[in-house]
């Protein structure tokens, strides 16, 4: 950065320094740019190519056109629609509950209570535990015979559940477990809450509004950008759910938790069909893109940005 | 002017970096290509390495890359065998790479894609695809060139073939489905120990009765006692592993099979098979003598389960004998229960030799060495069983691996495990049914419902039949 000495800096000099800056900027960003090109974009393009081939991971790929895709969409591969349905169900259950839960938690932790820091740490803690470890913990918590969950239900006189061992209860169980790991979302909400100017709340207090008014008219509208961000991230992460199925259920019982990415994994590493697995991955990519685009489209109607009064 | 130099410089810098990168990648690619080309030529010249055309002259230094998996104990034994081989063949060094089982195929595929394929490797069912793709040697071709070994030396069904005359090799060692038990629990219940001779095998009803006597709820009651609490069972009579390994012997015993006899139809949905599967499910849901998948999830691995008195009998793979011999427990083995005839099978992995190997002759010699029980005898005294007929027929050889004084071989082993399997072996589904891995995935999902008691075996298998129809393509035997 060249210090700007006076107003009489001539245009050429400004230009020159701006190119220098441009160059420096690109140079500094180069590792990231190259990383993206070599480690992300390159493999992505290659996998797109592979999705049109018959490739087992060890042979040389042979071009087969759209066969991998027709196999999926025609239902010839019986697991495609099944896994898509299971994953959608998980997303529909886990995303709204996750957002509401972590939002409420953030509001509670934003209050001036004793031991605020401790509570925040405690609720955030699960999200730094690796998902594999979490899966094992919950495997025990949700054990229908010995698990804490059923133990507690029985203590208050309710019948227990089969949890992850029941075809109907497995996805809701995993969505429930997902709530436990929403510490990251909660932290983002917490940061958002602290950005809301006090003055707005004071205005409501002067007008004699209740706490509910504050929540409905200030907190929620001011938080819509944060909610929007968390919604998008939630959808993306929800579609990519894998480890729980891999560790806890192996996709069972009877494929009731055959999540899309687990299905992809199985196709690639158990059935040795890398080509088809690439096609599956690309379909997921497009699904996530479309959904994200749709959420973006609707965002104009409900997301409020400060200083954007035209809306 | 200045403006232009700035931009040009930027462009140049970019170009330079890209050029460096591209050449770096390109160079690597070229090398790899040349390597691949030469190895292909080699293969075309002499398609069988043992012919001597491509074999390396004696005395020349040869390095073989060998990938394998296995427990720490197996790793140690294999490494010892490698040392013994190297001592015998001073010109050969073996670069062994131990890869944990779960990542194995992934790593191997990466090595193949990077033209770094090993010379030989352990392998599971995926090897058949590699065979179809021409990546590995046909064992039958290799064997033709070597008079020291013949197909008849091996157990009849010990082959992993990808076509009737194309083989990815015989088992490098075998294992079998086995009934293991904790003898103390039998004594306490006053029940006679399981029979060890196939002719005296329990009929199903006797088996169920025995299992009932060995099942206890938390009040010490048996399933037939009034007030028995099936929700709080402390000790189960028997635990099946619930994989094909455990239900197939019973299906075979009842006259069923994985596919129908002509290989054209799915066999597990036929009455003989569903009847057998239903019997196992009834142990769980009707008689409460075996744990369901839910209950089994809190039961540890077989050896620990028997030791900690969670179960009295286990039907699972014979590789558990090794762990049992290390646990401080009074254990034994019996023959499997039957429905009609005594039928069972051997199963196992095989060693594959890659066509990209520059030293196929040495690789072949090493594979022979490692599959000879003599050289990994320690593993054959607890973990594995031989795959060569001679080791079941020559009393001296039998004594070396199946002597019941060995810690890994309990009393009755020779009758209950060795002879009963050797004399009643059928082909195993895993290495004979085409598309087994995929069919098995559908079957396993369907069976989930049977074990949980939400569907009968007949209903669930009927549904699976429709799903696997396009995958049923017969066996490799015909």
pTM value > 0.90? no
CB contact under 8 A, A19 and B10: yes
Inform me whether the pLDDT recorded for B24 exceeds 90.
Answer: no
Distance from the Cα of B285 to chain A's closest Cα (Å) equals: 15
| pLDDT number for residue B45 | 36
Predicted confidence band at B384 (pLDDT cuts at 50, 70, 90)? very high
- Superfamily covering domain B2-170+347-384: Periplasmic binding protein-like II (3.40.190.10)
Q: Is B435 on the interface with A (CB under 8 A)?
A: no
Predicted confidence band at B58 (pLDDT cuts at 50, 70, 90)? low
Interface residues from chain A to B (CB-CB < 8 Å): 12, 15-16, 19-20, 22-23, 26-27, 30, 34, 38, 56-59, 76, 78, 139, 143-146, 162, 165-167, 251-255, 266, 269-272, 274
Angle between helices B271-285 and B204-213 (to 10 degrees): 10
Question: Which residues of chain A lie closer than 8 angstroms to B7, CB-CB?
Answer: 19
| Contact call for residues B385 and B172 (beta carbons, < 8 A) | no
Distance from the Cα of B105 to chain A's closest Cα (Å) equals: 7
Q: What is the mean pLDDT of residues B130-158?
A: 91
Q: What is the mean pLDDT of residues B282-291?
A: 96
Inform me whether the pLDDT recorded for A285 exceeds 70.
Answer: yes
Hey, of B124, B298, B439, B447, which one would you mutate to test binding to chain A, going by the most A CBs within 10 A of its CB?
Answer: B298
Distance from the Cα of B190 to chain A's closest Cα (Å) equals: 29
Residue of chain B with shortest Cα separation from A75:
B467
Lowest mean pLDDT segment, chosen from A26-30, B47-51, B125-129, B299-303? B47-51
In the stretch 114-173 of chain B, residues with CB closer than 8 A to chain A read: 126, 129-130, 133-135
Closest to B278 measured CA to CA, from B451, B477, B471: B451
CATH class, A68-302 region: mainly alpha
Lowest mean pLDDT segment, chosen from A249-258, B30-39, B244-253? B30-39
If you write DSSP's letter for every residue of B321-385 in order, what string do you get? Answer: HHHHHHSS--EEEEPPPBSSS--EE-B--EEEEBTT-S-HHHHHHHHHHHHSGGGGTTGGGTT-B
Question: Which residues of chain A lie closer than 8 angstroms to B298, CB-CB?
Answer: 143, 145-146
Predicted confidence band at A307 (pLDDT cuts at 50, 70, 90)? low
Inform me whether the pLDDT recorded for B422 exceeds 70.
Answer: yes
Question: Which residue in this structure is represented by tokens 């810690």?
Answer: B407
Which distant-in-sequence residues (6+ apart) come within 8 Å of B158 by Cβ?
B170, B171, B174, B346, B348, B387
CB pairs under 8 A between A and B: 92
Distance from the Cα of A15 to chain B's closest Cα (Å) equals: 7
Q: Is B147 exposed, middle or buried (0-12, 13-18, 19+ CB in 10 A)?
A: exposed
CB contact under 8 A, A162 and B294: yes
Inform me whether the pLDDT recorded for B27 exceeds 50.
Answer: no
CB contact under 8 A, A57 and B109: yes
Q: Which of B112, B438, B442 sits opposite A58 (nearest CB)?
A: B112
Question: Which residues of chain A lie closer than 8 angstroms to B130, CB-CB?
Answer: 56, 58-59
Q: Kindly state the tokens that stand for B156.
A: 């009849």
Rounded Cα gap, residues A117 and A81, in angstroms: 45
CB contact under 8 A, A272 and B126: yes
Backbone angles phi, psi at A199, to 5 degrees: -55, -35
Long-range CB pairs of B409-412, under 8 A, 24+ apart, other chains included: B409/B321, B409/B381, B409/B382, B410/B321, B410/B324, B410/B325, B410/B331, B410/B332, B410/B333, B411/B332, B412/B196, B412/B332, B412/B333, B412/B334
Residue of chain A with shortest Cα separation from B233:
A145
Q: Kindly state the tokens that stand for B107.
A: 């790593």
Predicted confidence band at B14 (pLDDT cuts at 50, 70, 90)? low
Burial B189-201 (b: 16+ CB within 10 A, else e): bebeebbbebeeb
Residue of chain B with shortest Cα separation from A164:
B294
Predicted confidence band at A20 (pLDDT cuts at 50, 70, 90)? confident
Distance from the Cα of A79 to chain B's closest Cα (Å) equals: 10
Instruction: Quote the percentage of chain B above a pLDDT of 90.
Output: 69
Distance from the Cα of A93 to chain B's closest Cα (Å) equals: 24
Distance from the Cα of A30 to chain B's closest Cα (Å) equals: 9
Question: Which residues of chain B lie closer than 8 angstroms to A162, CB-CB?
Answer: 294
CB contact under 8 A, B9 and A270: no
Hey, of B110, B117, B233, B441, which one would you mutate to test binding to chain A, going by the most A CBs within 10 A of its CB?
Answer: B441
| pLDDT number for residue B59 | 63
Q: Which tens digits make up the pLDDT trace of A179-221?
A: 998 899 999 999 999 989 989 999 999 988 888 899 998 999 9
Q: Kindly state the tokens that stand for A301.
A: 């109607």
Please give the mean pLDDT across all residues of chain A: 89
Closest to B127 measured CA to CA, from B142, B112, B114: B112
Q: Is B9 on the interface with A (CB under 8 A)?
A: yes
CATH class, B177-346+428-471 region: alpha beta
| Contact call for residues B213 and B222 (beta carbons, < 8 A) | yes
Question: Which residues of chain B lie closer than 8 angstroms to A16, CB-CB?
Answer: 2-3, 6
Closest to A111 measured CA to CA, from A100, A99, A120, A98: A120
Distance from the Cα of A153 to chain B's closest Cα (Å) equals: 16
Question: Which residues of chain A lie closer than 8 angstroms to B468, CB-CB?
Answer: none
Q: Which tens digits make up the pLDDT trace of A27-46?
A: 999 999 999 999 999 999 99
β-bridge partners, B236? B311
Q: What is the ipTM of this complex?
A: 0.79
Hey, of A41, A57, A247, which one would you mutate to test binding to chain B, going by the most B CBs within 10 A of its CB?
Answer: A57
CB contact under 8 A, B113 and A59: no
Distance from the Cα of A60 to chain B's closest Cα (Å) equals: 9
Domain boundaries, chain B: 2-170+347-384, 177-346+428-471
Closest to A120 measured CA to CA, from A133, A102, A138: A102
Give the SS3 label for residue B229: coil
Distance from the Cα of A38 to chain B's closest Cα (Å) equals: 10
Question: Which residues of chain B lie closer than 8 angstroms to A166, CB-CB?
Answer: 452
Inform me whether the pLDDT recorded for B186 exceeds 90.
Answer: yes
Inform me whether the pLDDT recorded for B250 exceeds 70.
Answer: yes
Residue of chain B with shortest Cα separation from A57:
B109
Closest to B442 measured CA to CA, from A275, A283, A258: A258
Question: Which residues of chain B lie closer than 8 angstroms to A12, CB-CB?
Answer: 2
Q: Is B298 on the interface with A (CB under 8 A)?
A: yes
Q: Is B112 on the interface with A (CB under 8 A)?
A: yes
Distance from the Cα of B281 to chain A's closest Cα (Å) equals: 15
Question: Which residues of chain A lie closer than 8 angstroms to B294, CB-CB?
Answer: 143-145, 162, 165
Please give the mean pLDDT across all residues of chain B: 87
Domain boundaries, chain A: 2-50, 68-302
Q: Is B12 on the interface with A (CB under 8 A)?
A: no
Question: Which residues of chain A lie closer than 8 angstroms to B446, CB-CB?
Answer: 254
Q: Which tens digits make up the pLDDT trace of A49-58?
A: 999 999 887 7
Rounded Cα gap, residues B208 and B203, in angstroms: 9
Which distant-in-sequence residues (6+ apart) come within 8 Å of A246 by Cβ?
A262, A265
Q: Which of A23, A143, A252 sits opposite B6 (nearest CB)?
A: A23
């Amino acid at each position: 950065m060249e210090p700007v000495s006076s107003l009489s800096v001539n245009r050429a000099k400004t230009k020159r320094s701006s190119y220098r800056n441009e160059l420096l900027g690109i140079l500094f960003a180069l590792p990231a740019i190259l990383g993206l090109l070599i480690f992300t974009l390159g493999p992505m393009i290659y996998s797109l190519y592979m999705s049109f081939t018959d490739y087992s991971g060890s042979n040389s790929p042979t071009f087969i056109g759209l066969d991998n895709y027709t196999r999926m969409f025609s239902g010839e591969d019986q697991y495609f629609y099944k896994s898509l349905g299971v994953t959608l169900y998980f997303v529909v259950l886990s995303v709204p509950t996750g957002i509401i839960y972590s939002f409420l938690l953030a509001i509670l932790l934003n209050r001036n209570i004793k031991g605020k820091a401790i509570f925040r740490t405690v609720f955030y803690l699960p999200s730094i535990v690796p998902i594999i470890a979490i899966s094992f913990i919950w495997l025990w918590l949700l054990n229908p015979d010995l698990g804490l969950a059923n133990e507690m239900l029985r203590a208050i006189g309710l019948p227990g559940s089969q949890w992850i061992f029941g075809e109907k209860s497995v996805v809701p169980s995993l969505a429930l477990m997902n709530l436990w790991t929403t510490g990251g979302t909660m932290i983002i909400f917490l940061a958002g809450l602290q950005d809301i100017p006090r003055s707005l709340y004071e205005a409501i207090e002067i007008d004699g509004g209740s706490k509910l008014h504050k929540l409905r008219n200030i907190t929620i509208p001011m938080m819509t950008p944060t909610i929007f961000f968390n919604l998008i991230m939630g959808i993306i992460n929800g579609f990519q759910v894998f480890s729980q199925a891999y560790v806890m259920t192996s996709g069972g019982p009877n494929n009731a938790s055959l999540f899309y990415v687990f299905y992809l994994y199985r196709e690639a590493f158990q059935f040795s069909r890398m080509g088809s697995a690439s096609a599956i991955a690309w379909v997921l990519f497009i699904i996530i893109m479309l959904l994200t685009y749709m959420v973006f489209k609707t965002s104009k109607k409900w997301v409020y940005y400060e200083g954007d009064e035209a809306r | 002017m200045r403006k232009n130099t700035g931009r040009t410089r930027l462009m140049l810098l970019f170009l330079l970096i890209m050029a460096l990168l591209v050449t770096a990648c390109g160079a690597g690619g070229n090398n790899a290509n040349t390597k691949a080309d030469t190895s292909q030529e080699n293969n075309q010249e002499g398609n069988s390495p043992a012919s001597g055309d491509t074999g390396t002259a004696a005395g020349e230094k040869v390095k073989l890359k060998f990938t394998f998996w296995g427990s720490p104990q197996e790793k140690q034994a294999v490494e010892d065998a490698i040392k013994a081989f190297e001592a015998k063949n001073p010109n050969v060094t073996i670069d062994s790479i131990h890869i944990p089982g779960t990542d194995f195929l992934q790593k191997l595929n990466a090595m193949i894609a990077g033209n770094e394929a090993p010379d030989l490797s352990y392998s599971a069912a995926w090897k058949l695809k590699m065979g179809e793709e021409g990546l590995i040697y046909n064992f039958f071709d290799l064997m033709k060139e070597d008079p020291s070994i013949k197909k008849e030396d091996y157990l009849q069904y010990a082959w992993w073939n990808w076509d009737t005359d194309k083989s990815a090799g015989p088992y490098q060692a075998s294992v079998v489905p086995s009934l293991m038990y904790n003898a103390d629990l039998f004594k306490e219940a006053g029940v006679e120990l399981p029979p060890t001779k196939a002719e005296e095998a329990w009929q199903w009803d006797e088996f169920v009765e025995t299992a009932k006597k060995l099942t206890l709820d938390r009040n010490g009651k048996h399933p037939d006692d009034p007030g028995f609490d099936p929700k709080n069972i402390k000790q189960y009579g028997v635990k099946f592993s619930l994989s094909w390994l455990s239900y197939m012997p019973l299906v075979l015993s009842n006259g069923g099979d994985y596919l129908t006899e002509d290989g054209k139809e799915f066999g597990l949905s036929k009455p003989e098979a569903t009847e057998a599967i239903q019997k196992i499910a009834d142990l769980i849901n009707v008689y409460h003598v075996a744990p369901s998948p839910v209950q089994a999830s809190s039961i540890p691995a077989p050896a620990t389960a028997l030791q900690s008195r969670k179960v009295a009998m286990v039907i699972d793979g014979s590789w558990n004998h090794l762990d049992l011999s290390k646990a401080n427990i009074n254990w034994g083995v019996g023959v499997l229960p039957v429905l009609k005839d005594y039928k069972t099978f051997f199963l196992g992995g095989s060693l594959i030799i890659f066509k990209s190997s520059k030293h196929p002759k040495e690789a072949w010699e090493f594979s022979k060495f490692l599959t000879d029980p003599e050289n990994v005898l320690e593993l054959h005294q607890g973990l594995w069983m031989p795959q060569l007929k001679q080791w079941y027929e020559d009393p001296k050889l039998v004594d070396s691996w199946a002597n019941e004084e060995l810690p890994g071989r309990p009393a009755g082993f020779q009758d209950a495990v060795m002879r009963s399997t050797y004399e009643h072996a059928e082909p195993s589904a895993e290495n004979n049914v085409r598309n087994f891995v995929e069919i098995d995935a559908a079957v396993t999902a369907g069976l989930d419902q049977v074990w949980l008691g939400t569907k009968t075996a007949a209903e669930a298998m009927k549904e699976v039949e429709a799903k696997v129809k396009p995958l049923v393509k017969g066996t490799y035997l015909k």
